[in-house]
Amino acid sequence: MDKKSLFQAIKFALFSASAGIIQAGSCALFLEVLKWDYWLAYLVSLILSILWNFTLNRKFTFKSSSNIPVAMAKVFGYYLVFTPLSTWLGHLAESSGVNEYIVLAVTMLTNLITEFLFCKYVVYRNEEHANG
């Protein structure tokens, strides 16, 4: 991995950590205070973190302002696959007795790695640094 890609991965991870705080915090609120089922708490908290993460990483990590709707559509496509799969697998794991916070942590780590690769090599492949 070259220095530029390493720096991007670090920035992506840091911004994703802030999105992870939003996701974990809102998920805990939904589970512990509102007493939602795991799948619903996970799904809503995931959507909140996606919006935050997309905005920060598009602007600061990949520095792309070209065709935001297309970039957003590509990320939406990623989540069309990731969300139902992770919601279903998380539900299966939690229903089998795996602690819901362990399920959430593993899911979030998987999301971090796969989303970075998807953004770098699909979403922003030819658009990095389009705004300077």
pLDDT recorded at residue 19:
93
- Rounded to an integer, what distance in angstroms lies between the CA atom of residue 118 and that of residue 75? 8
Calculate mean pLDDT across residues 102-130: 88
Q: Please state the domain extents for the chain.
A: 3-123
Q: Is residue 130 over pLDDT 70? A: no
Query: Residues 44, 26: contact at Cβ < 8 Å?
Result: yes
Length of the chain: 132
- Rounded to an integer, what distance in angstroms lies between the CA atom of residue 127 and that of residue 57? 13
Q: What is the dihedral of CA 43, 108, 50, 54, to 10 degrees?
A: -170
**For the chain, what is the total number of helices (H) and then of strands (E)?**
4, 0
Calculate mean pLDDT across residues 33-44: 93
Local confidence band at 128 (pLDDT 50, 70, 90 cut-offs): low
CA angle in degrees (0–180, nearest 5) for 13-11-87: 30
Q: Is residue 131 over pLDDT 70? A: no
- Rounded to an integer, what distance in angstroms lies between the CA atom of residue 79 and that of residue 126? 21
